Amino acid sequence: MAKSSVLGYPRIGADREWKKALEAFWSGKLEESEFHSQLQAIRLNHLRKQQEKGIDFIAVNDFSYYDHILDTATMFGIIPKRFAYEGGAVPLSIYYGIARGTKDATASEMTKWFNTNYHYIVPELDGANPSVTENRPLIAYREAKEKLGIEGKPVIVGPLTFLKLSKGYHQSETDAWLERLVPLYVQILQELEHEGVQWVQIDEPILVTKLDAEDVQRLKSIYDTFAAKVPNLNIMLQTYFESVENYSDIVTLPVKGIGLDFVHGLTGNIASIKKLGFPSDKVLGAGVVDGRGIWKASLRDKLVLIEELSGFVTPDHLIVQSSCSLLHVPVTVQNEVKLIPDLKNALAFADEKLDELVLLAKACSDKASIEAELEKCDLAIQALKLSGERNRNDIQHAVAIISEEQPKRNLPFSERHIAQQNKWQLPIFPTTTIGSFPQSVEVRKARQSWRKGVWTNEQYASFIRDQIDIWIKLQEEIGLDVLVHGEFERTDMVEFFGEKLGGFAFTQYGWVQSYGSRCVKPPIIFGDVAFEEAMTVEETKYAQSKTKHPVKGMLTGPITIMNWSFVREDITREQIAYQLAYALRQEVEALENAGIGMIQVDEPAVREGLPLKEQDQAEYLAWAVKAFRMTTCTVQDTTQIHTHMCYCEFHDMIDSIEAMDADVISIETSRSHGELIHSFEVNTYKLGIGLGVYDIHSPRVPRVEEMTSMIERALRVLDPKLFWINPDCGLKTRGFEETVESLRNMVDATQIARAKHSLTVN
């Protein structure tokens, strides 16, 4: 009989209990012992829920105090030297210092987890002397068994994936590092085997990316070693996010089970199984329920897929599971009381996916027993498909027309730049920020009062204007050249726009973890996207009226809105992007008509949507660039279009980023400045650019000397006439004092650079 399994469960809790505990501990409001106690209660509640719903294989060690990659690094004592680690179990002060920085030490780099909106802390191997500091999977296994009687399935990130996601070593050192890491994994696994653990899930998502022959040989060596050292331990080699590369090599590895993604990797994995079969001595972990999406699974379609897979594996060798960890979806639909019924009935968050998995596993041996659930599922999916929101002929017709065009600005950048410089008369190295300023408790309370109807629209608008007044004055005093209004009226850079566009819906409790305690509540794009009224003009126009400096209009771009939302599955992502671009173009035009001559269309998430398969990337980048240009191409030559991107491997996207044709791009880069600068040493970028000169994710205030050093290194490879100076991201989450002090230091660093370079530039 088929069994059910989950690869991981959301950490944050239905009401973000986890986030609240972390932030209370960081602020000194929670003692460490109570902090541990609260997190244990959250963790056990998650395990108990899965147990009660009937999941057969429940993941343990999927819970984290911040990030699972950071957990793996600290478990092996891989601590950057600057944190003065002296061995043994890693204290929380160092653990959180690596993630967030301290007064004296910068945080480690943070980057996206494959092609998701989750971000992990990048391990730094340089100078590390790894050893096992504590066996986290064993501790988690014992806790689940002792407290709840659960025979848990410990989860650990595999050595090849861990090494590939780390930095601080040369490629030629790969084998040497595996020789140091693999024995530590063996120690962990031997202790689990000795404890009587039945199954261990070793996550190797790197196997869905392109591997060379050397990596394949390394993989074989790793798992041959495991098989020899822990022969009685059942290892589930788990992959996700796409179809595996090198299928024929992977299925011959000496492991008991192999987990494959049959949602995002359906086409490739099915093709491989049909062509090469599946080993009769292995268990297939069939990831048939989407761990990243929020839509109810078509149970009938999933049963057809499972029946197809059953032609290659026997029922006792089949585990029905989520396609990846449920980390990427909200906890439960049950608490959402404000969604329209047709939409709510078509949703499935983490808890509902648990139910789907149990039903599908049951149906493998008794399909008739779930016929009522199958019919209910069919009706829910069909009702949404036929809804008016998904059938806006006016939108579909307009988007079909403009998507046939090749959008471009009237003049090339070289000519626009001259016209814009004549208009704005900016100094060399113009200074600006990315858009948002600190949202204080006062700001959040004001928004709540307005949303609850305690404040009138005019009271709230007056409050927002007061905040704008404060920060326009502050920006002038600090000495910034291009100002922003601060975005005090915005809860989130995607949610704000979604609330004002047609085709969107919003949950009350649909939070997911982005990084650390940063949780976001992605909108749901469930219908055709429609522009309904101007969204940003009022506040931006007001800010501009208060200063002679240019004020940037601030929008979130179509690709970021799409990638940071849960999107419908009945049309392509390309079609969704073009609908968003058409709506946002109308907002750009409204800003320009209101006299706003600098408009920033942020696209921090372009890289996050990049397909993992190289053969799919060019097509995605082509329509992503086209969507951005559709949004911005109709403005005047003197209107300066800015954009912002979070850190990415710039060298493999530089042509596409340049093709977006933004007049100025700012890039989040402070945690990995050297790597990005190296990209410019081998690539030329001919448009305006600002590299973030300090890290806004850390509460520390950077010194002037640090920023000066970053500026000077950038100027070695970038045209000083096109170089801007800015923080590396928005300042919404930072405190007032640290923000002002950091920006003053940034302006001081700029003045030093101007004094040094003014003669050579002019």
Instruction: Give the domain CATH number at 673.
Output: 3.20.20.210
Whether residue 302 sits in one domain with residue 450: no
Determine whether the annotation assigns residue 371 to a binding site. no
564 marked among binding-site residues: yes
30 located within any domain: no
Residue 703, in any domain of the structure = yes
Annotated binding residue 608? yes
pLDDT digits (tens, 9 = 90+) for 537-550: 999 999 999 999 99
Percent of the chain's residues with pLDDT above 90:
86
pLDDT value at position 125?
97
Residues 580 and 646 in one domain: yes
Cα–Cα distance, 499 to 485 (Å, whole number): 20
Backbone angles phi, psi at 430, to 5 degrees: -60, 145
- ∠ CA 283-286-289, rounded to 5°: 155
Q: What is the mean pLDDT of residues 34-61?
A: 98
H or E element that contains 289: strand 283-289
In a 13 Å sphere around the CA of 31, the CA atoms on its Cβ side amount to 3
Mean pLDDT of 60-86: 97
Is 518 within any annotated ligand binding site?
Answer: yes
pLDDT at 590: 98
Using the predicted structure, report yes or no on whether residue 647 has a pLDDT greater than 60.
no
Q: Same domain, yes or no, for 243 and 320?
A: yes
pLDDT over 70 at 672, yes or no:
no
The DSSP 8-state label assigned to residue 728 in this structure reads S
Residue 18 annotated as binding? yes
pLDDT above 90: residue 45: yes
Please give the helix or strand (H or E) that residue 644 lies within, else none.
Answer: strand 640-645
The total number of structural domains that make up the chain: 2
Contacts 24+ apart (CB under 8 A), 354-359: 354/6, 354/49, 354/50, 354/53, 354/55, 355/53, 356/289, 356/296, 356/297, 356/299, 356/302, 357/4, 357/5, 357/6, 357/55, 357/289, 357/320, 357/321, 357/322, 358/4, 358/53, 358/54, 358/55, 359/299
Kindly state whether residue 20 falls inside one of the protein's structural domains: no
- The answer to whether position 15 is within a domain reads no
Q: Are residues 469 and 360 in the same domain?
A: no
Strands (E), 344-465: none
Instruction: Name the most confidently modeled range: 473-487, 653-667, 720-734.
Output: 473-487
Same domain, 217 and 302: yes
> Are 319 and 442 contained in the same domain?
no
- Catalytic residue numbers read 697
Report pTM. 0.90
Asked whether the predicted pLDDT for residue 761 surpasses 70, the reply is no
Q: What is the pLDDT of residue 653?
A: 80
637 is in an annotated binding site: no
pLDDT band at 695 (very low <50, low <70, confident <90, very high): confident
Is 36 labelled a binding residue?
no
pLDDT of residue 651: 66
What's the pLDDT score for residue 694? Answer: 81
The pLDDT > 70 percentage for the chain reads: 97
Instruction: Find the mean pLDDT for residues 472-486.
Output: 97
Are 305 and 448 part of one and the same domain? Answer: no
Tell me: is residue 548 an annotated ligand-binding position.
Answer: no
In a domain, 483, yes or no: yes
96 within a domain of the structure (yes/no): yes
- Final residue of a structural domain among 350, 385, 420: 385
Shared domain for 367 and 466, answered yes or no, is: no
Task: Read off the tokens for 414.
Answer: 């070289």
The pLDDT value recorded for residue 735 is 87
Whether residue 644 is annotated as binding a ligand: the answer is yes
Instruction: Please say which residue of 368, 385, 402 terminates a domain.
Output: 385
Asked if residue 531 has pLDDT above 60, the reply is yes
Using CA atoms, how far apart are residues 65 and 136, in angstroms rounded to an integer?
A: 12
Is 131 labelled a binding residue? Answer: no
User: Are both 368 and 448 inside the same structural domain?
Assistant: no
pLDDT mean over 733-744? 91
- 487 annotated ligand binder: yes
- 458 burial type by CB count under 10 A (0-12 exposed, 13-18 middle, 19+ buried): exposed
pLDDT score, position 62: 98
Residue 518 placed within a domain: no
Q: Domain range holding 610?
A: 431-501+537-761
pLDDT score of 716: 86
Residue 434 known to bind ligand: yes
> Does the pLDDT at position 33 exceed 80?
yes
- Which of 363, 385, 407 delimits the end of a domain? 385
Summarised one tens digit per residue, pLDDT across range 389-429 is 999 999 999 999 999 999 999 999 999 999 999 999 999 99
pLDDT at 670: 63
Q: 174: closest CA among 134, 125, 243?
A: 125
Q: Do 378 and 447 share a domain, yes or no?
A: no
Residues 447 and 576 in one domain: yes
Same domain, 635 and 577: yes
Beta-carbon contacts of 133 under 8 Å, excluding residues fewer than 6 positions away, are 74, 75, 76, 77, 87, 88, 89, 90
Residue written as token pair 């640090």: 706
Residue 34 covered by a domain: no
